[in-house]
Structure 1
Amino acid sequence: MKIFFRNIHLYLSLVSGLVIAVVCFTGGVLVFEKELEQAWHRERYFVTPPTTPRQPLAQLTAAVKAYKPDAKITGMKVYADPTRTVEVSLAGAPGGPSGERKGEGAGKEGRAGRESHAEGGPGARSEAGGQLGAQGRGGKGPEAKGGKGGGEGGRGPIVFVNPYTAAVMGELNYRETFFFTMMALHRGMVGGPIGKLIVGVSTVMFLFIIGTGIVLWWPATRNAVRQRLTVKWNGNWKRVNHDLHIVLGFYSALFLFIFAFTGLAWSFEWFNKGIYAVTNSPMQRPEPPTSAAPTVADAAALTPDAAFTLARQQAPTAEYYSLQLPKDSTGSIKVATLRPGASYENATDEVYLDQYTGQVISQQTYEQRNLGQRVRGMFKPVHTGSIFGLPSKIISLIVCLLGVTFPITGTIMWLNRLRKAKKKQAKLVAA
């Protein structure tokens, strides 16, 4: 029976090994994307707070408009941390990135990105290079239609503004960053729809590889348990290579399985639909509420400062306030806030304000989301290893790097077996 599982393990590994190695390597790079991005461009994200008070948001938006006169401001993210800059989101170019029009980019990565972005509001995760959709317009989940310019590559730039001096500290165009290249390789976006399919199919193969690997690892006797749990460093190079594949493969199998399983949500739409079906939850999120027709008294739209003041009244202890401005005269202002001690970064509460009167039209806490939305929202922090902060990120990085080595050590084991078989055959022929 083990021969059967060994053949499945071998042939699936030979077919998908290179793709798995690339996905694991790029995944390892992306684990600390946020930290590396902030370290490389610290001036964008952090300022030394002076004794002077913060400038009003109107002053900050005026500075952005002076910096980019033709840009359209779609939202802003204000942190409670006094050392953080204010992040102003701008509208992206129509049509999105080349090769990903009419929902191709949004079809898979973009759908999941818009769902995550709907949780965090405009600019969510912008400090890490984005990885989210273009402002999550409309607040729809992964089923959002259209998708032009959706996905990681379709959103507009982020402008960082000093909240005390209104000075523009920098600009982030995610598609031009190193991390976008890594993300595109990680998800197969460099190959378009075919590349994404290849990564998705290879991920499914990887799940079977891990499962058959556990079967092959399982010791036949109690005496063999110790051998399967420790690397014999003083053995010859073939034995060390064997142990690196078998022993380290066992220790990392559970984590790799979880990472691969959650990664399917970005590869296949049927997988996303399955999450909502299993949890018996509606996949379609309700349309954002609209503002009432303005009267003469309140014809002027609510200013960002007024919306921010109302948001602080709603959630005075939030870690950040993410404002998404209305697209047209009937739209509402969406405010996403993150409570201290939230389970993950995008586990936000949402409030919709009438853009003329400031009245709360609709609101929803994170706990009020349906089970499917909460389960799907957990996939990204689990997949990236950020679910438990720094400790889980370190584990994720180590496991991803080990994932790169397994196709190599496994191929070496296979070649050694081929050489051994040839020598054995040669001896039989000679005899």
Structure 2
Amino acid sequence: MKKAFRKIHLWLSVPFGILITLICFSGAMLVFEKEVTQWVRPQVFNVDPQGRQPLSMDEVVSRVSATLPADVRVMGVTVFDDPQKAWQLTLSKPSRASVYANPYTGEVTGRSERLPFFYTMFRLHRWLLDSRPSGDGVFWGKMVVGVSTLMFVFVLVSGIVIWWPRTKRALKNGLSIAVRKGWRRFWYDLHVGGGMYGLLLLLVMALTGLTWSFDWYRTGFYHAFGVEVKPSMGHSNAALNARQHDGGKKHRGAKDEDGRRDERLTHWQAVYDRLRQENPGASQISIADGAASVTVNHFGNVRGVDRYKFNPRTGEVTESTLYKDLDNSAKIRGWIYSVHAGSWGGWLTRVLWFLAALLGASLPLTGYYLWLKRLSAKKPQDGSRNDLPT
């Protein structure tokens, strides 16, 4: 049985190994994208309060709107709990565009843009740098990533059968990495020991990541957690983009069509003040025309938010949907992302996920090295090590 699993492990690793390395490495690079981006572009995200109070929300929107093209409107504002952070203002177009503004002066500090490195890593991780086809064509990059990830699951499982120790002593030896017994022994220990260290987390990443690749898998994954799949439960942003587009027809930014100040914006501040008072631990609060959301830092679903609706003419909150009251179907997508990215437990889990992804990227490379060395080596002498990968 172990011999058969060795063959499965080898036959899947050789053709898919490089792809697995690229997927794991690019995923590791994305773990701390937000922090690195803010570190590289501090002038965009950081502001100096200088002892001042923020301007009113409608005043900030008005000043930012004056710098935008006539056909671009401010759709909403996100305020962070850190007074030294710029506010983020969502724009009507292009899709998902936004700018950051100094809340104390109303000055635009910069656009929300992905750094070229992270944009490349994202496309590599999701689509192997392929582009989404027009129409109903096959998205080959997405398909190859999905198949490679699925094969990675089988590689990991077959690795368990091949190398999982049967005794405590063997387990201790398997988890140790020798650094003074030659390169071949070092790469072997790194391959086997690294696989053991990262096994569980790599399986979690792969099994959750597959929900972005195959509809049939996502349906089965959701069913496994007792969630009925609905048409709107995919990972597509089409519904969000449609809502933003419709909202752009209603909300005209800082002024109405006659050039007068839009009085509806005066209620954004009142709604924000109320939500901030009711949610002192909120990490960010977003306000748009008739809708608001509150995000609270906690272990778990980092995309879980409390949502509110209010009358844009009066500022009266008319409806609230708290995250804790949602059913599983409304929570699972956020949970899948949080578990896949390792963000569910804060900094600790993100560091662990980052290291595990790097280990995942190294496994095919060490495996290739050992395989090529085995091919070029002579037949082992009696008493020599015969447990190296085949």
* Fold shared per TM-score above 0.5: yes
Q: State the alpha-carbon separation in 2 of the partners of residues 322 and 352 from structure 1.
A: 12
Query: CA separation of 1:236/1:177 partners in 2, compared to 1, >3 Å: closer, same or farther?
Result: closer
Query: CA separation of 1:301/1:200 partners in 2, compared to 1, >3 Å: closer, same or farther?
Result: same
- How many residue pairs get aligned? The number is 347
Task: Answer yes or no: is the 8 Å Cα contact 1:276–1:283 preserved in 2.
Answer: no
TM-score (norm: length of structure 1): 0.74
Give the AA of the match of 2:148: S
- 2:230 corresponds, among 283, 295, 300, to 283
Partner of 1:73: 74
Q: Secondary structure at the match of 1:190?
A: coil
Matched, 1:419 2:376: yes
Give the AA of the match of 1:177: P
Q: Secondary structure at the match of 1:159?
A: strand
**Percent of paired sites with the same residue:** 32
Query: CA separation of 1:187/1:407 partners in 2, compared to 1, >3 Å: closer, same or farther?
Result: same
Shift of 1:237: 1.6
Shift of 1:2: 0.8
Shift of 1:274: 3.1
Give the AA of the match of 1:320: Q
Matched, 1:184 2:123: yes
Q: State the alpha-carbon separation in 2 of the partners of residues 17 and 234 from structure 1.
A: 27
Give the alignment's Cα RMSD to 1 decimal. 2.7
Q: State the alpha-carbon separation in 2 of the partners of residues 222 and 75 from structure 1.
A: 58
Q: State the alpha-carbon separation in 2 of the partners of residues 169 and 33 from structure 1.
A: 19
Q: State the alpha-carbon separation in 2 of the partners of residues 282 and 269 from structure 1.
A: 10
Matched, 1:246 2:192: yes
Shift of 1:272: 3.1
Query: CA separation of 1:340/1:242 partners in 2, compared to 1, >3 Å: closer, same or farther?
Result: closer
Partner of 1:324: 288
Shift of 1:53: 1.9
Q: State the alpha-carbon separation in 1 of the partners of residues 216 and 119 from structure 2.
A: 25
Structure 2 alignment gaps of length 5 or more: 132-138, 234-238, 248-260, 382-390
Partner of 2:304: 347
Q: State the alpha-carbon separation in 2 of the partners of residues 88 and 40 from structure 1.
A: 20
Q: Secondary structure at the match of 1:55?
A: coil
Q: State the alpha-carbon separation in 1 of the partners of residues 377 and 223 from structure 2.
A: 50
Task: Answer yes or no: is the 8 Å Cα contact 2:58–2:268 preserved in 1.
Answer: no
Give the AA of the match of 1:309: A
Task: Answer yes or no: is the 8 Å Cα contact 1:302–1:357 preserved in 2.
Answer: no
Q: Secondary structure at the match of 1:184?
A: helix
Equivalent positions of 1:86-235 (< 5 A) are 86-93=87-94, 154-156=95-97, 158-174=98-114, 177-188=116-127, 190-192=129-131, 193-220=139-166, 223-235=169-181
Matched, 1:405 2:359: no
Which digits, 9 at most, give the CA deviation of each residue in 1:218-253, with x for residues without a partner?
235555333212122221221111111011111111
Task: Answer yes or no: is the 8 Å Cα contact 1:76–1:324 preserved in 2.
Answer: yes
Q: State the alpha-carbon separation in 2 of the partners of residues 51 and 225 from structure 1.
A: 59
Query: CA separation of 1:230/1:52 partners in 2, compared to 1, >3 Å: closer, same or farther?
Result: closer
- 2:336 corresponds, among 376, 379, 383, to 379
Shift of 1:51: 2.5
Partner of 1:309: 270
Query: CA separation of 1:311/1:57 partners in 2, compared to 1, >3 Å: closer, same or farther?
Result: closer
TM-score (norm: length of structure 2): 0.81
Give the AA of the match of 1:18: I
Task: Answer yes or no: is the 8 Å Cα contact 1:231–1:244 preserved in 2.
Answer: yes
Structure 1 alignment gaps of length 5 or more: 94-153, 292-299, 326-332, 425-431
